[in-house]
Structure 1
Amino acid sequence: MNHTFLLVHARWHGAWCWDRVADLLRRDGHEVLVPDRLGFAQLTALLEAQDRPVPLVGHSSSGMTISALAELLPDRVHLLAYATAFLLPGGETPREVIGADTESILTEHLVTDERTGLVTVRAPEEVFFGACTAEDAAWAAKRLVPEPAGPPDLPAVALTAERFGRVPRVYLECLADRALGPSAQRRMYTATPCRAVYRLPADHAPFLSAPRQLAEALANAT
């Protein structure tokens, strides 16, 4: 069965990061929506505009976004897919997860502009794109943009078993991730069990370091 996938990028990234995966899914007969830097209200409207439930794919921080969307609109969501993403239904914060993640080098590479309060990532080729080719890592690093400090701007919504909990979910574990380590990913999907776990030979950017495996996992999951 063909689906309309909604791919949601994470902080510092844009729609560009999904290009290869979107192309592969389209070649397989699926429709793909790749919003670029939309706020939560705009994503909600986009989801509501679809004529059938869609697979929602969230990367990294956008795992929190797709979880909130599923809580608000569970009947609009066919599947939740977490691509090395935060799966935090119990109120834990990304800061707490990263702080306890001994495999992550993200925190030590965050740089805050004292004038603007915006945060960038130093040496993203190492933090995010370590399993990519040098060319892909350089290409992606140039496209990252500064972000405000703090978690994503999401509504204060508690995730419930009755709404969020009834939407099927899968996890895409990235085994070479140095931003959100495999052990932290494993802890999240163990605490909140998923229907399936797909293990990818990827860094924090599976859409660049393992796009074919990622697209195949998404297609198989639906």
Structure 2
Amino acid sequence: MPVPPPTIKTFVLVHGAWHGGWCWAQVAQALRAFGHRVYTPTLTGLGERSHLLGANITIDTFVRDVENVLVWENLHDVILVGHSFGGLTITGVADRVPQRLQQLVYLDAFILGSGVSTFDSLPSATVAKMREAAREFGQGLALPAPKPKAFGLTEDAHMDFVAKRLTPQPLAPYETALQLNHPIGNRLPCIYWHCTAPSYAPLEGSRQWVKAQADWGWAEMATGHDAMVAAPELVVKHLLEL
């Protein structure tokens, strides 16, 4: 493990679909042991907030969830990390309150432009299947969680940890789009971390977009998509090296 920096940093770690703040447990524990401040909010309708699942949850709800953490906790110079679907959330937060942020980290995350919903970016047949799954499982409100292997997990302990905690994913955030007033990242320093073992296919479009940006950082991590569960020490190492 690298020697931690002398200054205390503030990290806000944002989870992806079907997950909750729980998925960052080992990463948060290690960062706090180095003296850093760490927040792991759970987005509305998921995890321990799954009792709030409803039709009114949109991508804007997720953005407000994290924005409110920054405001109510009076956080500044934040390193904001978004995993998977959480990439859309941190893009929205950066558009609204860039003055509270220091850097954006997209951990194997989705990136979409203003006015483009997740469903807009998917084949129509895929969207139809997802809507049907939501109707059959969650009365049209939510998507059932996939098997842990879908997140690149291979060890039994990791799969068991995740399987016990995944909750249905609200559907409307897939149907609604970010409305951005600034370019993606809002001119903040941005870095993308690609998890390569195995590579998560749905993110290929986002990765290609990042590679076309001259001012974005790029790094690769030899772990699966749920890196914070499969290789928390590797995630911590990269965060401490920022």
The match for 1:104 is none
| 5+ long unaligned stretches in structure 2 | 1-6, 45-60
- 8 Å CA contact 1:128, 1:177 repeated in 2: no
The match for 1:68 is 92
Q: Whose helix fraction is larger, Structure 1's or Structure 2's?
A: 2
Deviation of 1:152 (Å) = 5.3
Could you say what secondary structure the match of 1:10 adopts? coil
The match for 2:42 is 36
Q: 1:46 aligns with which of 69, 87, 101?
A: 69
Q: How does 1:12-27 map to 2 (within 5 A)?
A: 12-27=18-33
The match for 1:213 is 234
Distance 1:111 1:22, change over 3 A: same
Deviation of 1:47 (Å) = 1.1
Distance 1:23 1:171, change over 3 A: same
Q: How does 1:1-222 map to 2 (within 5 A)?
A: 1-38=7-44, 39=61, 40-48=63-71, 49-89=73-113, 91-95=115-119, 97=121, 99=123, 111-114=133-136, 116-117=139-140, 118-122=142-146, 124-130=147-153, 132-151=154-173, 156-161=178-183, 164-177=185-198, 179-181=200-202, 183-193=204-214, 195-221=216-242
Could you say what secondary structure the match of 1:44 adopts? helix
Amino acid at match of 2:212: A
Residues 1-41 of structure 1: CA distance to partner in whole angstroms, max 9, x if unpaired?
Answer: 32110011112101110001111211222110111224432
Distance 1:45 1:150, change over 3 A: closer
Higher mean C-alpha deviation, range 78-87 or range 172-181: 172-181
TM-score by length of 2: 0.75
Amino acid at match of 2:210: Y
Distance 1:91 1:192, change over 3 A: farther
Could you say what secondary structure the match of 2:166 adopts? coil
Number of aligned positions between the proteins: 211
Higher mean C-alpha deviation, range 152-161 or range 191-200: 152-161
User: Partners in 1 of 2:122 and 2:215 — Cα distance?
Assistant: 21
User: Partners in 1 of 2:215 and 2:165 — Cα distance?
Assistant: 32
Could you say what secondary structure the match of 1:75 adopts? helix
Deviation of 1:125 (Å) = 2.4
- 8 Å CA contact 1:98, 1:180 repeated in 2: no
Amino acid at match of 2:207: R
The match for 1:103 is none
- 8 Å CA contact 2:145, 2:169 repeated in 1: no
Deviation of 1:155 (Å) = 7.5
- 8 Å CA contact 1:53, 1:77 repeated in 2: yes
Could you say what secondary structure the match of 2:80 adopts? strand
- 8 Å CA contact 1:203, 1:209 repeated in 2: yes
Could you say what secondary structure the match of 1:22 adopts? helix
User: Partners in 2 of 1:128 and 1:2 — Cα distance?
Assistant: 31
